[in-house]
Structure 1
Amino acid sequence: MINIVERHQHILNKIQVNGSLDVHSLCKELDVSSVTIRKDLKLLEDKNLLYRTHGGATLNNPYTVDKPVNEKELLQSAEKTRIGILASELIEDNDSIIIASGTTVLALARYIKPKGSLTVITSALNVALELVQNSNIEVIQLGGLLRKSSSSVTGPYSDNVLTNIFCSKLFLGVDGIDLEFGLTTTNALEAHLNRQMIASSQKIIVLADSTKFGKRGFGRICGMEEVDHIITDSGISEHTIKSLEGMGIKISII
């Protein structure tokens, strides 16, 4: 049996390669108990060498914080633009869709150019203002409490509208994608509204740059089993791609 120094080195080497790891696999590889591995991960976290997660550990801080929308828009802007362009190609003439809030779905809105008619329901003011310039698009702006940090609304007024409609697609932006915990955002009320959008949609399409993977926000939107399609950039790891495909989720990489 290898000693503690060798175990720690093995753990650090593996997490550098994969970006994350799980306790169960480490127990098999190192032939030790889960209690021993959890103690190892705690010691390594105390040294700021990794972050513990449910059932494992990750190299990057998995917890997201809320940021103003104008600050978010500057992050991974090129990737968001390419994601938005690809997502716009999924919209069909005479479609009825829901667009949630976030800077990645805002990028989508900028590239929607339907030849036929299109109905868009959205909670995001900036998305609505982008789309209202196109005469072929009918925009239904959900009402409610305005969140200044995201320029979007939440609350029962939006819920009431969503319970009476059904759309072909939901384009959803998120703050975190965790393979075990699911999709999250930094605000619990927005997470609730996103769940209502999911219930009112046939197909769930998540638009997220690769930095969102392995992250968790305060509000859980749903589990990965609800997701049909994810559009992201080439920064996503092969391990994550294979895991998502194993769940039956389509992955498009720009």
Structure 2
Amino acid sequence: MINIAERHQYILNKIQTDGTIDVQSLCKKLKVSSVTIRKDLKLLEDKNLLFRTHGGATLNNPYTVDKPVNEKEHLQSAEKMKIGTMAAELIEENDSIIIASGTTVLAMARCIKPKGNLTVITSALNVALELLHHNDIEIIQLGGLLRKSSSSVAGPYSDNVLGNVFCSKLYLGVDGIDLEFGLTTTNAYEAHLNRQMIDSSQKIIVLADSTKFGKRGFGRICGIEEVDHIITDSGIPEQTRKNLQSMGIKVSII
């Protein structure tokens, strides 16, 4: 049986190679109990060598923090624009859609070329302003408490409107996508509003660049199984893509 130092070295080598590790695989390989592995992971996390997750660990910090929208807009901007272009092409003639908040859905709004008359319900002020110059887009701006960091609103006023409509598609931006924990955002009020949007939509389309995978925000929106379609970039881990597709989720890569 190998000692604790050898176990720790194996774990660190494995996570450096794969990026993530899971407890059960380590138990089989190292022939120790799950309790022992979890203690090992805690010790290594205390030394800032990895981050523990549900059922394993990762090399990168899985927890997201709230950043101002003008700062996030410059992150992965090229990928967001390509994702937005593909997403906008899914809008049908005389469609009625919901657009949530976030810099990726804002990129999509900039790419919209309406076919016939389009109705857009949105919580995001910047999305509404982006669409304002289109004469054939009817915009319903949700009201509520304004979150300055995201230029979007949330609260019971928005819930009242969403409870009385049903749209063909929801275009949803998120801060984190975790196969076990689901979709998340950094704000609990926004997570609740996104949940209401899901209930008012036939199809859920998530727009997220590859840096969002394996991340978790404070507010849980829903389980990953509720998503119909994810549009992302080629940085998504291959195993993650396969796992999503095995769950019946369409994954489009720009």
- Report the TM range for the smaller structure's normalisation: over 0.9
Report the equivalent of 1:101. Answer: 101
Q: Which amino acid aligns with 1:157?
A: Y
Gaps of at least 5 residues in structure 1 are none
Deviation at 1:110, TM superposition (A): 0.1
Q: Deviations over 1:191-244 (max 9, x none)?
A: 000000000001101101111111111110001111111111111111211121
User: Separation in 1 of the partners of 2:136 and 2:246?
Assistant: 39
Q: Deviations over 1:86-107 (max 9, x none)?
A: 1111111111100000000000
User: Separation in 2 of the partners of 1:187 and 1:177?
Assistant: 15
Deviation at 1:2, TM superposition (A): 2.8
Judge conservation of contact 2:92–2:115 (CA < 8 Å) in 1: no
Report the equivalent of 1:193. Answer: 193
Report the equivalent of 2:30. Answer: 30
Deviation at 1:47, TM superposition (A): 2.0
User: Separation in 1 of the partners of 2:103 and 2:205?
Assistant: 15
* Structure 2 residue 182 is the aligned partner of structure 1 residue 182: yes
Judge conservation of contact 1:62–1:214 (CA < 8 Å) in 2: yes
Q: Which amino acid aligns with 2:137?
A: I
Deviation at 1:64, TM superposition (A): 0.9
2:112 aligns to what SS in structure 1? coil
Q: Deviations over 1:116-155 (max 9, x none)?
A: 1111100000000011111121111101111100000000
User: Separation in 2 of the partners of 1:120 and 1:70?
Assistant: 23
- Map 1:64-103 to 2 at 5 A: 64-103=64-103
Judge conservation of contact 1:51–1:62 (CA < 8 Å) in 2: yes
Judge conservation of contact 2:101–2:150 (CA < 8 Å) in 1: yes
Gaps of at least 5 residues in structure 2 are none
* Structure 2 residue 247 is the aligned partner of structure 1 residue 244: no
Q: Deviations over 1:142-184 (max 9, x none)?
A: 0111110000000001000001111111000001111111111
* Structure 2 residue 39 is the aligned partner of structure 1 residue 39: yes
| TM-score using structure 1 length | 0.97
User: Separation in 2 of the partners of 1:117 and 1:133?
Assistant: 14
Q: Which amino acid aligns with 2:136?
A: N
Q: Which amino acid aligns with 1:166?
A: F
1:231 aligns to what SS in structure 2? strand
1:130 aligns to what SS in structure 2? helix
Judge conservation of contact 1:18–1:239 (CA < 8 Å) in 2: no
User: Separation in 2 of the partners of 1:11 and 1:168?
Assistant: 46
User: Separation in 2 of the partners of 1:247 and 1:115?
Assistant: 32
| Equivalences, count | 254
Deviation at 1:249, TM superposition (A): 1.1
Report the equivalent of 1:150. Answer: 150
User: Separation in 2 of the partners of 1:241 and 1:21?
Assistant: 17
| TM-score using structure 2 length | 0.97
2:71 aligns to what SS in structure 1? helix
Q: Which amino acid aligns with 2:208?
A: A
1:204 aligns to what SS in structure 2? strand
Judge conservation of contact 2:94–2:115 (CA < 8 Å) in 1: no
Report the equivalent of 1:62. Answer: 62
Which stretches of structure 1, 4 residues or more, deviate above 4 A after TM superposition? none
Q: Which amino acid aligns with 1:219?
A: G
